Structure 1
Amino acid sequence: MLEIRDLTVGIGDATILENVNLTLPEGELHVLLGPNGSGKSSLLATIMGLPPFAIHAGEIFFHGSPIQDLDLHERARLGIGLAYQRPPSIDGVSLHGFAQALGADDQLVAHAKALDLSDFLDRDMNVGFSGGEIKRWEVLKLMLQDPRLLMFDEPESGVDLEHVIDVGEAIARVVRAPDRDGRTCSGLVITHTGLILNHVKADRAHIIKDGRILHSGDPQTLFAHVQTGGYTVPAA
């Protein structure tokens, strides 16, 4: 689904990511573990094609084809989607109107109910939403977009414990299910607290620090190591 080879990324003269290598097979869900400022969000933004991140070296492949020279909208049309950590508020665009524009109006009600957002359908996107409501809407928005590669930037951050379960179950459901054309999906999740691991079955985890991926392995084992040993390479 996704292959990143020797990726180095910067903003201006500052290097943000250096020699990153990562492979995400079809049908798998991977998590990124790392401290604040480690490059987690920058990596997802680079995959999505967001400014101001510039690729200085390396390649990104989606289903075997390079995408690093494609614009953001071209990557989205290929089937890459991102649930943002801090999305903007958009006056005048309701959740219902957004779903209609996507041609996903028939999916909205069921998905909104599962995420406790049924009363939000006529409200403008993120306007007056709490932090947890914004995160739940980001997950719902991605479900409506129906991408094959689903990326989530700290989906449990700011969400109360009750709704973390809803968010986790929604992520597990959408990543493990085929898209509307019956094709296999994959997921990449940034987690800072690790709470999401209680509600989604991740296949692999990667520790990222100072813009480099230090180690990859079993998600529960690595998260347990992070809790006791910090963001370091576990002893052999």
Structure 2
Amino acid sequence: MLSIENLTVEVDDKRILNGVNMSIREGETHALFGPNGTGKSSLLFTIAGIPKYKVTDGKIYYKRKDITDAPMDERAKLGIGILFQHPPVIRGVKLRDMVRISMESRNPGKKITDEEIAGLARKLNLESFLDRDVNSGFSGGEIKRSELLQLLAQRPEFVMLDEPDSGVDLVNIGLVGNTINELLEKEKKTMERTKSGLIITHFGNILDFVKADKAYVMMKGKMLCQGNPVELLDDIRKNGYGECMSCMRR
């Protein structure tokens, strides 16, 4: 579904990704580990098509189509969705209206009712938030649920999640995990799934709720290693990223 080949990216003439390669097949979920400031979010932003992330080398293919230079709105229409770690507050726009817009984008010509919106919001305990400005005065966990609600409405085929477990308390982490599983069609057999995902996680807590098929470790804009998510996460939890730094120096 997604293929990245030798991707090198700059922001303001500073290189932030260097020769990144990755391939995610239809129905797969991959996880990306790494310390803060190492380029993980930059990779997601580049895939999403945020303009300031300039590709200087390499290619991004989505469903075998070259989207390296495609604008952000075209990528969204093709089925790429993203949950930002720090999304903006959108004053003057109600969460209800944002959900309606997202639902209508995948159901052209259909009139979306308030009952349909409320039913979707109920899954994330956000019915009472629908008439508030998007993310305004929300806690960290509420923002995450608000963003997930918008993704549920959008139903992207490729889901990118930037630290979906950060700022989420123990009461709601299971709810967040269940919603991600729904987005990624985890209730279906692997061969029947059409949705794929890429999850950035620093501590890996979300992977206690969402099964990943493969994981990578990124350091200083480079992919250092890849392998079994459970084994990689266990090693990181025991030893931190010190061994990864040693590998990088070697």
Query: Would the TM-score normalized by the shorter structure come out above 0.5?
Result: yes
Distance 1:220 1:119, change over 3 A: same
User: Offset of 1:121 from its aligned partner?
Assistant: 1.1
**Structure 1 residue aligned with 2:32:** 32
**Structure 2 residue aligned with 1:20:** 20
Q: Which one of the candidate residues 130, 137, 152 is aligned to 2:161?
A: 152
What is the correspondence of 1:1-236 to structure 2 with a 5 Å cutoff?
1-104=1-104, 105=112, 107-176=116-185, 184-231=194-241, 232-233=243-244
Q: Is the 8 A contact 2:158 2:197 kept in 1?
A: yes
Q: Is the 8 A contact 1:82 1:151 kept in 2?
A: yes
Q: Is the 8 A contact 2:39 2:220 kept in 1?
A: yes
The 3-state SS of whatever aligns with 2:184 is: helix
Residues 52-97 of structure 1: per-residue CA shift (max 9 Å, x gap): 1100100000000110110101111111011111111111211111
TM-score, length-normalised on structure 1? 0.93
- State how far apart, in whole Å, the 2-side matches of 1:37 and 1:103 are: 34
Q: CA RMSD in A?
A: 1.9
Structure 1 gap segments, 5+ residues each: none
The 3-state SS of whatever aligns with 2:211 is: coil
Distance 1:173 1:103, change over 3 A: closer
Distance 1:176 1:183, change over 3 A: closer
Residues 150-184 of structure 1: per-residue CA shift (max 9 Å, x gap): 00100110111111111011001111269xxx981
Tell me which amino acid in the other structure corresponds to 2:207.
Answer: L
TM-score, length-normalised on structure 2? 0.88
- State how far apart, in whole Å, the 2-side matches of 1:194 and 1:51 are: 29
Q: How many residues align?
A: 232
- State how far apart, in whole Å, the 2-side matches of 1:110 and 1:30 are: 29
Q: Is the 8 A contact 1:31 1:188 kept in 2?
A: yes
Q: 4+ runs of 1 displaced by more than 6 Å?
A: none
User: Offset of 1:31 from its aligned partner?
Assistant: 0.7
- State how far apart, in whole Å, the 1-side matches of 2:223 and 2:18 are: 9
User: Offset of 1:40 from its aligned partner?
Assistant: 0.4
Identical amino acids, percent of aligned pairs: 46
Q: Is the 8 A contact 2:10 2:56 kept in 1?
A: yes
Distance 1:116 1:54, change over 3 A: same
User: Offset of 1:21 from its aligned partner?
Assistant: 0.3
Q: Is the 8 A contact 1:48 1:75 kept in 2?
A: yes
- State how far apart, in whole Å, the 2-side matches of 1:125 and 1:69 are: 30
